[in-house]
Amino acid sequence: MTDLTLELNINSASDLEYVNHITKMNVYAVVTLLGDKKIQKVKTAVDRHGGSNPNWNHAFKFSVNERLAREGRLTLVVGLFSGRVLGDKDIGKVEIPLVYLLPSTNDYSNGHGMKFVTYQVRTPSERMKGSLTFSYRFNGTAVIYGPVHQQGPTSWAPPPSQHGYGPYPYMSQPPPPTGYGYEGPPQYRKNEERLAKADLLVSAVSLLR
């Protein structure tokens, strides 16, 4: 199995739900990679000035098992919290199946720039409120595996700006079969036979003249 390096930069969030009733929100993010035996977790610094529009620009790296990622078994979770003296308050989170972030199977390169994406934030009450922006790239050597069945996500924040609702391209349906093969229905074949006989008759009369 190949280990890739996922470079992440948690840039900022905007228009987050205000969970503090009196004081200003001090927002930080907790980024977790779930699905592997070893859970990887990173916490950003606390933004004490941005309120519901925090900025972090916090860069870090995760080690990614490529096979688990391509099988849809790894999930990137970014939880947003407001730090408080009496206990931190949950603002919301973004959950992204890592397979949606993977490039094509041979598109890993240290020279590629970071890709910026923006996702909606899901609040604890299951509402979409605010957005999270981060940049990322994968470094490593790709291994071409066979086709893998990917199951669609059940509960995650769909990316509004670049991925749509998943990696499934639209496929037009083939035309419905006629049930008669390539010759068409019986009545069509009978008409063709009549026309052929008429053509032969006309040819014979022309020869007699």
Where does the pLDDT of residue 31 fall: very low under 50, low under 70, confident under 90, or very high at 90 and above?
A: very high
Per-residue confidence (pLDDT) for residue 132, from 0 to 100: 98
Rounded Cα–Cα distance for residues 17 and 76 (Å): 21
The answer to whether position 170 is within a domain reads no
The answer to whether position 168 is within a domain reads no
The answer to whether position 166 is within a domain reads no
Per-residue confidence (pLDDT) for residue 195, from 0 to 100: 56
Q: What angle do CA 76, 82, 83 make, to 5 degrees?
A: 115
- CA-based nearest residue to 144, from 70, 45, 194: 70
Where does the pLDDT of residue 181 fall: very low under 50, low under 70, confident under 90, or very high at 90 and above?
A: very low
For 92, the token pair is 């919301």
Considering the chain, what percentage of its residues have pLDDT values greater than 90?
53
What average pLDDT does the segment 44-58 reach?
96
199 vs 87, more confident = 87
Rounded Cα–Cα distance for residues 93 and 84 (Å): 18
What average pLDDT does the segment 34-61 reach?
95
The b-or-e profile of 31-70 (16+ CB within 10 A means b, else e) is bbbebeeeebebebebbeebebebebebeeebebbbebbb
At residue 129, the 3 state secondary structure works out as strand
> Strand 128-139 relative to strand 40-43: parallel, antiparallel, unpaired?
unpaired
The answer to whether position 86 is within a domain reads yes
| Residue ranges making up the domain that contains 35 | 3-144
What average pLDDT does the segment 106-119 reach?
72
User: Which stretch of 90-99, 108-117, 121-130, 180-189 has the lowest confidence by average pLDDT?
Assistant: 180-189
Where does the pLDDT of residue 77 fall: very low under 50, low under 70, confident under 90, or very high at 90 and above?
A: very high
Under 8 Å between Cβ of 9 and 134:
yes
- CA-based nearest residue to 68, from 1, 6, 5, 8: 1
Residue 68 has pLDDT above 80, yes or no: yes
User: Which stretch of 16-25, 40-49, 147-156, 197-206 has the lowest confidence by average pLDDT?
Assistant: 147-156
Q: How far is CA 9 from the centre of its chain?
A: 19
Domain count of the chain? 1
Where does the pLDDT of residue 105 fall: very low under 50, low under 70, confident under 90, or very high at 90 and above?
A: low
Rounded Cα–Cα distance for residues 26 and 55 (Å): 11
The answer to whether position 105 is within a domain reads yes
The answer to whether position 203 is within a domain reads no
CB neighbourhood size of 117 (10 A): 19
Only one residue has tokens 């503090």, namely 20
Per-residue confidence (pLDDT) for residue 142, from 0 to 100: 47
At residue 115, the 3 state secondary structure works out as strand
The answer to whether position 56 is within a domain reads yes
The answer to whether position 191 is within a domain reads no
Question: In whole numbers, what is the pLDDT of the chain averaged over residues?
Answer: 76
CATH code, 76? 2.60.40.150
